[in-house]
Structure 1
Amino acid sequence: MTATETPVTTPTSTSTVGTATAEALRAATAVVGPARARHHVDGTGTAVPLVRGANVSMSRTRDVLGVLRPRTVAEARRVVQVFDRFPGACGLQAISTGHNWGLGSREPAHDDVVTLDLGDLAEVRALDVDRGWAVIEPGVTQGQLAACLAGTSRMLNVTNSASTTSVIGNALERGVGFRAQRTDDVLGLEVLLPDGELVRVGWWPDAERHTPVYPHGLGPGLADLFVQSDLGIVTAAAVRLLPRPQAQRVVRLRFTDAGLVPAMDAIRDWLVAGLVDAVPKVYDAAATTRYGGDGSAGQFVAHLCVDGTERTIDTLVQLLVDEAHASGAFVAVSASDEDRDLVDVDVAHDFAGDPSRNDAVFEKTFGTTPAGLDASGHGWLFFLPLVPMTGADVASAHGLKERIAAETGVRFGSVVHVLSTDYADFVMSVRFTAADRDRVHAALDLAHELFAEAGFRPYRLDVDHAAWVDRLDPDPGARALLARLKSALDPHGTIATNRYGVPAR
């Protein structure tokens, strides 16, 4: 334990778990060194929870019995092996940078874990721009990898989050990038199994020859087993790098509430026709305002990316502009770089694989840098359902959001990410103060109820709604199968149950 770490006086873990965990922590500290281990053992030889900082979601702080921060994969592997030798100890919760803001940050889903912080595993092990892949570790941030690609023919599929967020952590959470859902970028994974065995699944570069960058391989696909998973700890990933277009333009469209259905249907038609590239983003006025843009007109703003060559880009953009005017769904259509607000500029850079403007949005939104977000005293919460990509379904989701506002007084902003012609990510977020914490979390509970009833299930969960995974799975047999896999791979509970796992019974 460091000198500044203070234990909670009344542990909630059982003495048996606490004693076994204390023994495992002592052995693990010998692996990583005292400066990289935080824990406290009381006079009875029991590990007790640490006092830790707040999280921006203002979710309940869980009991974490220790934090270990290895420097290398070899050290992480030895830590896992140590905990596997102590079956009575609590499980390990692996994090990358811990910036899962709005969903609990670095909080685990359940009490009594030891956090394995992989933030110092931050090496870009290999980079092949010609063939379009990189091998990276969990601590590699999207800003770091994007900078490596600056000026090359490849770019990273970035998200709207801070430049300091982990590429791997977000991909394993099924985060959404500007070019595709991040899981589509995962080619292969290096995984520590609960017994400490290190395996690689999916596609991995061959040191002797060039092989096609094909993630599926032969036989059953294993990489997906470790997405939103507590079956193993990912220590590296091969990720896809996207071709950088010669030219790019962002067309901005404004429409009113009355135009929501025809506008969304038009965007879908343009995706089908190939007039729009990347992931269309549609902000409501509340979201535009919260992220530093101009939402004063009370309108929706759609950002549509068009890729082309230097010779074709003007023609392609004009085709889309003409289609937008002809649809009659929009009150304003612009392909100009003039009069752009903070959100417009940020979105254009993100479509181009450059997350460097994202941090300015955070500072405008919260008055602090991303590094200080959890300790800022501000509240920020997300709800992430999927909706069918039709104008009627998106309008129905907006109607549910308005119902929540009417019943609770909590107004979520929304950003629609059109992930395909068949479904969209309906991102709902709310900024709040500590005084409104209980009311906002009650509104989130209502959102889960209303959207689930409508068939709009979330694709990511916050730490306070881990129990919803059982309610939302369409087949209880699938959950039983997951429990069998967990028992087979992790009989000692070496890896803690996460938000999507099956709690021990």
Structure 2
Amino acid sequence: MTVLPEATAGHEVFAPDDLGAVLDKAAQVVGADRVIYPEEAVAGGPLSTPLGPNVSLYRSRTVFGVVRPQTAEEVRRVVGLFADGRTSARLHTFSTGGNWGLGSREPAQDGAVVLDLSGLDQIRDIDVAQGWAVLEPGVTQARLARLLEGSERMLNVTVSSAGTSVVGNALDRGVGLRHQRVDDLTGLEVVLPSGELIRVGWWPDADRTTPVYSHGLGPSLVQLFVQSSLGVITAATVRLLPRPEDLRVVRLNFTPDKVEAATGEVQRWVSQGLSRGVVKIYNEAAAKAYDSPAGQYLVHVCVDGTTEAVDALCGIVVTEAVKSGLFTAVADRDARDPDAPNHDIAVRVERAYAGDPDPTDVLFEAKTGRPAARLDEEGGFLFFLPLVPFTGPALARVDELVEQVRVETGIRCGVTLNALGPDLVDCVVTMKFARAEDEAERAHRALDRLHKLFVAEGFIPYRLGIEHADWADRLSAGTGARAFARLLKDAVDPHHVIAPGRYT
């Protein structure tokens, strides 16, 4: 057996004897130039990795090779090479690799062969009238948004880079500006660990036009493959949302001492239907990227619909905000006033809510400090992503816990609160750090503390980074749920062809 050097001492992993033969067969399927062998992966010495660095400075896992297929058929054939269990190497997949803050392209465990699906980049089919598109994992939100430009439909975009994968983000329950993206998945094309290709949920049929409905008859199977290692997703049918006739974002500021009262007021507006899309609330650190006044929170409330509805609802939100006396600034026309101090940013924010992910990544770079293409090499940040009740007291408690972590570690966290409805907030906690050993250590210590403090409070994460994959067992909601998930894994993937991930 061959011992592969590892980026961190004490993590040597042995490559299976027959792995070379399997990779040779994979090269016959995808082309020799699209396979990286173990010898190439470590040619640069113990610190090299075929996946490159990651922005979180997580330990680089031992990778036995990289295979870059370009079609679903190639994926099916490559998975089939591993299906008989003759090699103990596991397959780890990623779409475009932009899972920043949670591990980027890295597997959760050592000893995987990586399937890089960025070459599956086709928009296979699209029906604007019915509101769906069939996308492969390598399709970016910028590309799909550009195709939809000027049409009556739009994509539910995220505030991440325009170059990130639509399908990959949805499969990890990423949050768009309209709702969680997992809600946009209506059908999946899956290569099972046996090498069989199946489709679940709703899929377009040229011979029979049916309404888009993801659940079908019997058990709903689409969600079975979300945050799971039960198969390799080679395409997805994604909903395209109606484009509003008009749209405006109301911008508000409040001081930290008003967190409980101000967020409680915003929750009342959401519960009474005064906003559309995800209301976003930024703490002082996160608000800096939007040129918010120093030391103040920032709120974005999206209102859309017909022009008359937008005028009326904006007027109501502004009136309610002023009447409450909780906000230091209230503005709803910055995007329409070229002389407004926040005009350029306001325009970009409104365009994002309207389905334009901004191919120039101006706001993304303002938040991360680096272009997407250089982020893993030069940047430093971690994500912590818990769910929190949408109540004033709960969000005030979030503020207290983040401040406790700052006192303990010296890391000042940015916090973005994404309202997923009147009762639930997706809390995005970001820890930025310089790529120096001492500061990275403090940031990782802050991440560990956030997990412990928030979970103790009942604020459970809905996405995990690769260093906290074991928390999935600790956080299972129901009696026997994890055991049942493992039972499914063993039944569908008896040879454990698909690498264990952060959730299964």
What is the TM-score normalised by the length of structure 1?
0.93
User: Counterpart of 1:51 in structure 2: which amino acid?
Assistant: T
1:383-423, CA deviations, whole angstroms, 9 ceiling, x for partnerless residues?
00000010110111111001000111111010000001111
Report the CA distance between 1:313 and its aligned residue.
2.2
Secondary structure of the structure 1 residue equivalent to 2:206: coil
User: Counterpart of 1:477 in structure 2: which amino acid?
Assistant: G
Report the CA distance between 1:34 and its aligned residue.
1.1
In the alignment, the residues of structure 1 paired with residue 104 and residue 254 of structure 2 have an alpha-carbon distance, to the nearest angstrom, of: 34
Of 8, 26, 29, the residue aligned with 2:27 is 29
Spell out the pairing of 1:365-380 with structure 2 (5 A cutoff). 365-376=367-378, 378-380=379-381
1:138-157, CA deviations, whole angstroms, 9 ceiling, x for partnerless residues?
00000011111100000000
Aligned to 2:309: 312
Aligned to 2:426: 425
Specify every segment of 5 or more residues in structure 1 that has no aligned partner in the other structure, as ranges: 1-6, 43-47
In the alignment, the residues of structure 2 paired with residue 496 and residue 126 of structure 1 have an alpha-carbon distance, to the nearest angstrom, of: 30
Spell out the pairing of 1:263-302 with structure 2 (5 A cutoff). 263-289=262-288, 292-302=289-299
Q: Is the CA contact 1:275–1:316 (under 8 Å) kept in the aligned structure 2?
A: yes
Counterparts in 2 of 1:402 and 1:461: CA distance versus 1, 3 Å: same
Q: What is the total number of aligned residue pairs between the two structures?
A: 487
Q: Are 2:455 and 1:452 aligned?
A: yes
Aligned to 2:337: none
Counterparts in 2 of 1:341 and 1:55: CA distance versus 1, 3 Å: farther
Spell out the pairing of 1:116-127 with structure 2 (5 A cutoff). 116-127=115-126
Q: Is the CA contact 1:288–1:343 (under 8 Å) kept in the aligned structure 2?
A: no
User: Counterpart of 1:187 in structure 2: which amino acid?
Assistant: T
Of 488, 496, 501, the residue aligned with 2:499 is 496
In the alignment, the residues of structure 1 paired with residue 145 and residue 22 of structure 2 have an alpha-carbon distance, to the nearest angstrom, of: 38
User: Counterpart of 1:442 in structure 2: which amino acid?
Assistant: R
Secondary structure of the structure 2 residue equivalent to 1:382: strand
Spell out the pairing of 1:77-476 with structure 2 (5 A cutoff). 77-289=76-288, 292-337=289-334, 338-340=340-342, 343-356=345-358, 359-376=361-378, 378-435=379-436, 436-476=439-479
In the alignment, the residues of structure 2 paired with residue 341 and residue 450 of structure 1 have an alpha-carbon distance, to the nearest angstrom, of: 39
Q: Is the CA contact 1:286–1:295 (under 8 Å) kept in the aligned structure 2?
A: no
User: Counterpart of 1:37 in structure 2: which amino acid?
Assistant: V
Q: Is the CA contact 2:36–2:67 (under 8 Å) kept in the aligned structure 1?
A: yes
Secondary structure of the structure 2 residue equivalent to 1:449: helix
In the alignment, the residues of structure 1 paired with residue 224 and residue 36 of structure 2 have an alpha-carbon distance, to the nearest angstrom, of: 30
1:153-208, CA deviations, whole angstroms, 9 ceiling, x for partnerless residues?
00000000001100000000000000000001001100000001111111111211
Report the CA distance between 1:330 and its aligned residue.
1.3
Q: Is the CA contact 1:346–1:358 (under 8 Å) kept in the aligned structure 2?
A: no
In the alignment, the residues of structure 1 paired with residue 319 and residue 81 of structure 2 have an alpha-carbon distance, to the nearest angstrom, of: 64
Deviates more, 1:336-345 or 1:415-424: 336-345
Secondary structure of the structure 2 residue equivalent to 1:189: strand
Aligned to 1:45: none
User: Counterpart of 1:91 in structure 2: which amino acid?
Assistant: R
Aligned to 2:5: 8
User: Counterpart of 2:254 in structure 1: which amino acid?
Assistant: F
Secondary structure of the structure 2 residue equivalent to 1:385: strand
Q: Identity over the aligned pairs, expressed in percent? A: 49
Q: Is the CA contact 1:288–1:295 (under 8 Å) kept in the aligned structure 2?
A: yes
User: Counterpart of 1:26 in structure 2: which amino acid?
Assistant: D
In the alignment, the residues of structure 1 paired with residue 468 and residue 87 of structure 2 have an alpha-carbon distance, to the nearest angstrom, of: 26
User: Counterpart of 2:416 in structure 1: which amino acid?
Assistant: V
Deviates more, 1:96-105 or 1:33-42: 33-42
In the alignment, the residues of structure 2 paired with residue 274 and residue 89 of structure 1 have an alpha-carbon distance, to the nearest angstrom, of: 53
CA RMSD of aligned residues (A): 1.9
1:412-463, CA deviations, whole angstroms, 9 ceiling, x for partnerless residues?
0100000011110111002111221111101100000000000000000011
User: Counterpart of 1:194 in structure 2: which amino acid?
Assistant: P
Deviates more, 1:292-301 or 1:387-396: 292-301
Q: Is the CA contact 2:54–2:103 (under 8 Å) kept in the aligned structure 1?
A: yes
What is the TM-score normalised by the length of structure 2?
0.93
Q: Is the CA contact 1:50–1:63 (under 8 Å) kept in the aligned structure 2?
A: no
Q: Is the CA contact 2:142–2:359 (under 8 Å) kept in the aligned structure 1?
A: no
Q: Is the CA contact 2:38–2:63 (under 8 Å) kept in the aligned structure 1?
A: no
